[in-house]
Amino acid sequence: MYMKKTLIVANWKMYPLDEDVAVELATKVEQGIKNVEGVEVALCPPFVYLIEIKKHLAKASLGAQNTFWEQEGAYTGEISPAMLKKLGCSYVILGHSERKNFLGETPEMINQKVRAVLAAKLIPVVCIGEKKRLKGAIRAELEWQMKGIFKDIPSSAISKIVLAYEPEWAISSQVHAQPATPQDCKETISFMRDALKGLWDETIAKNMTILYGGSVNSSNIKEFLLEGNAQGALVGFASLEAEEFIKLVGNLIK
């Protein structure tokens, strides 16, 4: 496997409720990872904390958890990739299963968002994942998602995209959630690379950064990278506690 910098994306979801708590978390993480080499850490807080948190980051990058698919216009309540870029964001998480399930986001909508994010020179972190843990049947579901999300995206833009394999059944907020096994992760990532080969070509399939997400913590992170072939992780719950998250990042270089 080729090696790029390991990427850890912290998805804070709709937490915490208070800005001072958010700033404290970001400051502690920044402090805790400042000497870690070879790992890119991106913090993705709720929109309302982006400006303040940006002031406290040097080593860690900033990301958002969503965006709209136009850069400016009469779209009440939306926030654009161009705005996020101006705030100092580098990453945008797109197509998270919570957005699909609660807000009805479809692959077509995510496709438009991917294009807009790329146009604003931000890095999309595109989530795909199956709903249920069904051996075999997941392939068609993942391929369908990938086809829709990447429709007509030129190969020149593809190398900028990060994919995240996020099986919904493994996300810690789900009842009875369990992390995927490193073997599950390895098999699915290899299947995803095959699907990418079909959609584009071998080079793109080989070079795309693919993360794993779903109940990742400081104890299991390494196995997803070493045995699961993930090149990083999208971390929810374990990114909300500074000590645990710093430990997770630190364990990558041990």
Task: Report, as residue numbers or ranges, the catalytic residues.
Answer: 96, 166
Q: How many whole angstroms separate alpha carbon 233 and alpha carbon 42?
A: 11
If the CB atoms of residues 165 and 205 are measured against ligand PGA, the closer one turns out to be: 165
If the CB atoms of residues 166 and 184 are measured against ligand PGA, the closer one turns out to be: 166
182 contacts ligand PGA (rule: CB under 6 A) = no
Q: How many whole angstroms separate alpha carbon 209 and alpha carbon 6?
A: 9
215 contacts ligand PGA (rule: CB under 6 A) = yes
Contacts of 190 (CB under 8 A, 6+ apart): 229
213 contacts ligand PGA (rule: CB under 6 A) = yes
Give me Rg for the CA atoms of the chain.
17
11 contacts ligand PGA (rule: CB under 6 A) = yes
The interface mask with ligand PGA, positions 131-160, x = CB under 6 A, is: ------------------------------
Q: Are 41 and 11 in contact (CB under 8 A)?
A: no
Nearest approach in angstroms of CB 2 to ligand PGA is 25
Instruction: Name the segment binding ligand PGA (CB under 6 A); options: 16-24, 36-44, 145-153, 213-221.
Output: 213-221
Tokens coding 239: 């990114």
Angle between helices 182-199 and 138-149 (to 10 degrees): 50
214, 220, 224, 225: which one binds ligand PGA (CB under 6 A) = 214
If the CB atoms of residues 15 and 200 are measured against ligand PGA, the closer one turns out to be: 15
Instruction: Name the segment binding ligand PGA (CB under 6 A); options: 100-108, 150-158, 166-174, 198-206.
Output: 166-174
172 contacts ligand PGA (rule: CB under 6 A) = yes
Nearest approach in angstroms of CB 13 to ligand PGA is 7
Dihedrals φ, ψ of 183, to 5°? -65, -45
If the CB atoms of residues 80 and 220 are measured against ligand PGA, the closer one turns out to be: 220
216 contacts ligand PGA (rule: CB under 6 A) = yes
If the CB atoms of residues 32 and 214 are measured against ligand PGA, the closer one turns out to be: 214
44, 171, 210, 211: which one binds ligand PGA (CB under 6 A) = 171
Task: Give the binding site for ligand PGA (CB under 6 A).
Answer: 11, 166, 171-172, 213-216, 234-238
